[in-house]
A = this chain, B = another copy of it.
Amino acid sequence: MSKIDLAVVGEGCSTCPIRHRAVCAKCEADELARLETMKSYRDWRAGETICMEGDVLPFVGSIVTGCATLTRSMEDGRTQMVGLLMPSDFVGRPGRSSAPYEVVAATDVSMCLFRRAEFEQLIIDTPHVGQRLLEMSLDELDAARDWMLVLGRKTAREKVATLLSIVLRRSATGQVPLRAELPLTRDAMATYLGLTIETVSRQITALKKEGIIRLEGKRGVLCDDLSVLLIEAGDDDDGYADL
């Protein structure tokens, strides 16, 4: 179910790939040294549940590599993804032990963990961590609110185009055609977009037939002209925060 990732443990924070974006981004050397003594690593395989809705979470932590989903469900099974966690994103919340969301590894995931009680103390002692966490939370809040516009007002085609453009933009290398590997199954995309799997599939097929995107296998997406895709997304400007 999980195991220590020997490739990562033992390396110091200074070589950590998320060093400058995660909750520790603003830490000074001494603060980092303290974190170093507290942290541990853990991995999950794609599809594994990191935590269930209502679970008591004994830890908090940062995604180091991979991608995880945050979902909320109704009793009858209807499910909505409420967040997509990428490297450097923070999981858990100080001051609350139970998680109101289900967290699932979408790809293989490795996390840098802290025991919750210790982390809560850390926030009080080292203001830089609290300040960074506030910044990150406010960014997430903006992203969540942006997504509310997508869920509440966009058409299925716009929703799919929005998601594809976000994924393409995030893995942008500057080279045309833009190329990205979807970290999500059709099912996860539907859950994210508030659609059914069939509608997602139809919209992707339609975008492909119209030459706006091309596919490579089931997960690869290519796009020659992002601006066309952005218009399909109902979103001319660059207004989106990068979630």
Check A4 for interface membership: any CB of B closer than 8 A.
no
Most buried by B among A70, A78, A149: A149
Contact check, B72 vs A148: say whether CB atoms are below 8 A apart: yes
| Residue in B93, B131, B239 whose CB lies within 8 Å of A123 | B131
| Residue in B133, B138, B145 whose CB lies within 8 Å of A101 | B145
Check A1 for interface membership: any CB of B closer than 8 A.
no
Q: Which A residues, 146 to 161, have Cβ-Cβ distances below 8 Å to chain B? A: 146-149, 151-154
Residue of B nearest to A73 (CB): B149
**Chain B residue contacts of A152, Cβ below 8 A:** 80, 151, 193-194
Q: How far is the CA of A151 from the CA of B154 in the complex (A)?
A: 11
**Chain B residue contacts of A131, Cβ below 8 A:** 123-124, 130
Q: How far is the CA of A176 from the CA of B79 in the complex (A)?
A: 33
**Chain B residue contacts of A187, Cβ below 8 A:** none
Interface bits A72-106 vs B (CB < 8 Å: 1, else 0): 11111011101100000000011110001100000
Contact check, B235 vs A146: say whether CB atoms are below 8 A apart: no
Check A137 for interface membership: any CB of B closer than 8 A.
yes
Residue of B nearest to A195 (CB): B152
**Given contact pairs A83-B145, A124-B131, A134-B134, a sample of 9 additional A-B residue pairs in the complex whose CB atoms are under 8 Å apart:** A70-B145, A76-B234, A78-B154, A79-B153, A95-B135, A100-B145, A130-B134, A134-B137, A151-B151
| A interface bracket (residues with beta carbon within 8 Å of B) | 35 or more
Check A117 for interface membership: any CB of B closer than 8 A.
no
Q: How far is the CA of A183 from the CA of B235 in the complex (A)?
A: 31
**Chain B residue contacts of A188, Cβ below 8 A:** none
- A/B interface sample: 15 pairs, CB < 8 A: A70-B145, A73-B149, A74-B149, A74-B154, A74-B235, A76-B234, A80-B153, A83-B145, A95-B135, A127-B130, A130-B130, A130-B134, A134-B134, A140-B141, A151-B151
Check A163 for interface membership: any CB of B closer than 8 A.
no
- A74-B153 in contact given A82-B148, A138-B93 (Cβ < 8 Å): yes
**Chain B residue contacts of A239, Cβ below 8 A:** 100
**Chain B residue contacts of A55, Cβ below 8 A:** none
Interface bits A39-79 vs B (CB < 8 Å: 1, else 0): 00000000000000000000000000000001011111011
Shortest C-beta distance, A239 to chain B (Å), equals 8
Contact check, B149 vs A80: say whether CB atoms are below 8 A apart: yes
